[in-house]
A and B are shown apart, each in its own frame.
Chain A
Amino acid sequence: MDRRTFYMFMSPSLLIMLLLMVFPLVTSIWLSMQFMTFRNINAPEFVFLANYLEVFEDRKFWQAFSFTMTYIAIAVPLQIFTGFLIAVLLDQISKRFRGIYIAAFLMPFIVVPVVGTLMVKQLFESGGLVAWVYREVIGARFIFTEQSVKSLLIAHALWAATPFPLVVFFAGLQTLPHELVEASMIDGATRLRQIRHIMIPHLRSLFVFVGLISIMDSYRVFDSVFVLTEQNPIYKAEVMMLYTFRTAMSVQRLGKANAMSVITVVMILIVLVPFLLRTYKEQTEER
């Protein structure tokens, strides 16, 4: 295919991405330097970096930042470990039963995040199943506090996002070369050693891939936090996205909110750039 035909095929898609992704990102930088509320949308006031300085001094922003980091640090390894464990176990059982297990495992993943969170929340409402078990075991009512909502958010992350690493690892295990496994069996390798020395190296690139995707997804988590903190807002359990959202839509400080979103974009580049470079290298080699 020559270059002209390529651009002809590419143009509608490219145009929409330029207009609605590249251009808005630039606009966001411009907006972040304005003082803008709902009242002066048409006549914002240029303040240069004042919004950024305000964000850097905002304690709530750093609180949201540190909870976002905690969330990633706990949820992502937990998801990957659980996903890998379940994938390895699933690989051991008879093919007949795998379909039904996969269907059950995928349920939290396919359901709309807002709905899934609402469903998890139902378990903890007064009269909910887990709230009841909690009361029977601990002896106190389950209440939505900063700590309990934070733990609940991480438990929800495990519930909702583990299916992704699980399915990817499971598919990866299906490509494991048989000769290697058989050879190791003859050499008398135990199962744990097989996992350690054959499976994990074989899946190494998938671990990196899944890890990066999971970090980026956890970084921008919004829906579940929104739903779980909606009940008389628990500000201390907010993540960065939610705090940005509230700054824009409730506090109506649009310039400041845009400054926050620019800062979050710059921060994620630390993970994103290596990911993109890796993809670029792979794609150019494959070409």
Chain B
Amino acid sequence: MSKLKVPGLTLPKKYESNIRELRYSVYLLKHSALAVFGISIVATIIAVAVLAPYVAPYAPEAFVWQDKLQPPSLQHLFGTDDRGGDVFSRVLFGYRIDLAISASVVVFAATIGTVLGSLAGFFQRIDELLMRVTDVFLSVPSLILAMAFGAVLGRTPTNLVIALAISWWPVYARLVRGQVLVEKQKLYVEAARASGGGAARILFRHILPNSIYPILVNATLDLGAVILTTASLSFLGFGVEPGSAELGRMVADGRAYVFTNPWIVGFPGLAILIASLGLNLVGDGVRDVLDPRLRR
């Protein structure tokens, strides 16, 4: 093969096939209109969340009671809520909280799952036990499980993250275990063992780096569902305090005004829909690219 041309970077030859595969994936992704649409939504939302303090016209907790329950106008793009807060600004800040919670959930769940899953795949002795534990966790819908953990832990954002991560890790554990079981059989592991590598070194230096790709993919597929679950749980009263600028909470707080002032509920909910739709579009695109059966 010809040399890889990555500007400012020369890669060792052993990565050539990986890079080629990755480039092909990116090429396919670029040619899926829906995936590109999803990526642009997600990019916009992330930008909005990061830049909220600079972009939002008002502070999320700036309440002007004279302006309460105003319909959408040029001053207040999404109208104002029952306390005179600007719904548009609150939605922008809401993205911050929701994205932060969802991202932490995925990171935590993936980390716990990766550690436990790789141990299960590598050490036969704990494999059976760990897989039965994941069986139990997967036998209940994760929203229900998160409700149980959340109810006991108490209703704070940190506990919401913990509750969701505890109910979400088994998926990753299964995935990583399967991956490790496959990689374990390969020659390079044998070689590493022959050259005197200990169990920890083989697992973390050799096997895991080779199994990381599916974990990342699964995490992107997951984000849409996680953000939806996060919003649902805060709608039910978990996580942030009532009155906070969090999207699910804003819908719950505005429920009493749904008929008379529908914008208070309408826009935060629409914001959740757009975020999870964008993430799901990206996830769907990634899945299609990686599933060779669907390529034809």
Q: Do A and B originate from a single complex?
A: no
Which residues of A are interface residues toward B (Cβ below 8 A)? none
Which residues of B are interface residues toward A (Cβ below 8 A)? none
